[in-house]
Amino acid sequence: MEEQEHKLFPVSGVLLAVTVLTIVFYLIYSSVTEQKLPEIPPKKRTQDTTKGTPPIPTPSEIVSLRIYPIKSCRGIQLQRTTLKPTGLDLDRNWMFIDVGKANKEFLTIRNDSKMTLIDTALSGSGADTQLHISIHGTDDHVTIPAYPTSSWLTANTKLTQVEIWSANTDAYEYGPSINSVFSKYFGKDVALVYKGPEPRNIATNGSPDLYGRKQNHHFADVMSLQVASEASLEDLNRRLKEDGQDELTVERFRPNIVVKGGEPWEEDTWKRIRVSPKNVLEKATSLDLDVVARCARCQVPNVDPDTAYKHPKEPWDTLMRFRRVDSGGVAKWKPCFGMLCVPQGESVVEVGDKLEVLETTSKHMYNTARFADL
């Protein structure tokens, strides 16, 4: 009997230990589960993540509107203007050509940085608006109608063929009374020309094969409109300053619309954006824009628009270190800054208007990606 009780004792001890451990575990678990868990902040509004699209950025606002009436020359800041499928009103409607060449090739700041010292200004209103063109630091100055009528063009210009980026288009060529000032400045025979009636279609990602339809514009390089972000410029300037370089103004990049922006470089993901009037009582309506491609840069931003001095390295070198973000076409070897857009209609736009991103994409590829596939 004593032998049986001795054998049962270890079993009873084990049961008692298990019971005690169970009670202790229960008390600890109850204490933990009664604690309030930290709240999880709500997620930002995003697109359908099953498509792998980036998040929709928060709305921003327009902080600057800029036109460059003459290609490669000094621009004008406006408080309010009209945005059309061809771009901002009066943007790049004119350019200079080299009349000493048989093909009458266009002149560009890429080859002659002193073009930035040709100033432009507007006066008057409506059909009577005048474009003033002057040579910076001199008294040389000419004035022409900003909205020339057919009769004025017939009397004061001749319709001719000119070449821009190895393609021909038509243009109204002004006469010696206008051009003599500029021929003297350039040191060779040049002429001011105004875009003719023949459509000149947008190119690269805006070509019919990639964009899906034709859209004409004036003398901009490849697209109707460039939009840039103030937040991205601030990030670039931070990097330049850290390297001991001077900060830049956005004029170096010659955009048409500058937005305040949220996160730097979030514009890389834009596909469709909308500009809405800041005043809901205004007659202006919202206008959607297709964001067709990133803007692959040349070295024009190296040119100081105030002096025409072209820096041998910056900001090109800094941009090349962190903004080679597009593997399409020539963008493989170039940095990107700004986005190229096509407006889907016409509306008045104003500084302070809201810019909202409607769709995003991670598939932008310069001169490669079809807009329908973004």
Average pLDDT over residues 213-218: 98
Lowest mean pLDDT among 17-21, 156-160, 312-316: 17-21
Instruction: List the chain domain ranges.
Output: 49-373
Please tell me the pTM assigned to this model.
0.86
* Per-residue pLDDT tens digits for 216-230: 999 999 999 999 999
- For residue 278, the model assigns a pLDDT of 87
The dihedral over CA atoms of 299, 371, 59, 91, expressed in degrees to the nearest 10, equals 50
Cα→Cα distances 43→55, 57, 357, Å: 10, 12, 17
Choose the weakest-confidence range: 37-51, 85-99, 218-232, 301-315: 37-51
The token pair at 85 is 């499928």
Please indicate whether residue 189 or residue 36 has the higher confidence score (pLDDT): 189
Write out pLDDT tens, residues 106-157: 999 999 999 999 999 999 999 999 999 999 999 999 999 999 999 999 999 9
d(CA 272, CA 357): 6
Residue 149: per-residue pLDDT: 98
195-221 mean pLDDT:
97
**Among the ranges given (8-12, 22-26, 291-295), the one the predictor scored with the smallest mean pLDDT:** 8-12
Neighbours of 197 (CB within 10 A): 8
**Rounded Cα–Cα distance for residues 14 and 20 (Å):** 10
Q: Given a cut of 50, is residue 28 above it in pLDDT?
A: no
Summary mean pLDDT of the chain = 89
| CA torsion, ordered 257, 262, 264, 269, to nearest 10 deg | -80
Q: Hey, what CATH topology would domain 49-373 get?
A: M1 Pyruvate Kinase; Domain 3 (2.40.33)
Average the pLDDT over 360-369 and give the result: 98
Mean pLDDT of 289-311: 98
Is residue 279 very low, low, confident or very high in pLDDT (cuts 50, 70, 90)? confident
Question: Whole-angstrom Cα distance, residue 36 to residue 28?
Answer: 15
Residues whose CB falls within 8 Å of the CB of residue 165, separated by 6 or more in sequence, listed in order: 106, 203, 221
State the SS3 of 74-118.
CCEEECEEEEECCEECCCCCEEEEECCCCCCEECCCCCCHHHHHE
The C-alpha atoms of residue 75 and residue 71 are separated, in whole angstroms, by 9
Beta carbons of 371 and 290 less than 8 angstroms apart: yes
Choice among 28-37, 104-113, 322-331 with the minimum mean pLDDT: 28-37
Handedness of CA 236, 241, 245, 249 (dihedral sign): positive
User: Please, which pLDDT band fits residue 101 given cuts at 50, 70 and 90?
Assistant: very high
Instruction: Spell out the residues 6+ positions from residue 297 whose beta carbon is closer than 8 angstroms to its own.
Output: 253, 316, 319, 334, 335, 336, 337
Say if residue 39's pLDDT is above 90. Answer: no
92-106, 184-198, 280-294, range with the lowest pLDDT: 280-294
Q: What confidence tier does 67 reach under pLDDT thresholds 50, 70, 90?
A: very high
Mean pLDDT of 171-182: 97
Tell me the torsion sign for CA atoms 208, 211, 217, 218: negative
pLDDT of 294 reads 98
Is residue 190 within 8 A of residue 97, CB to CB? The reply is yes
Token pair for residue 47? 């697109």
Q: Is the pLDDT of residue 360 over 70?
A: yes
Nearest partner of 260 among 286, 226, 227, judged by Cα: 227
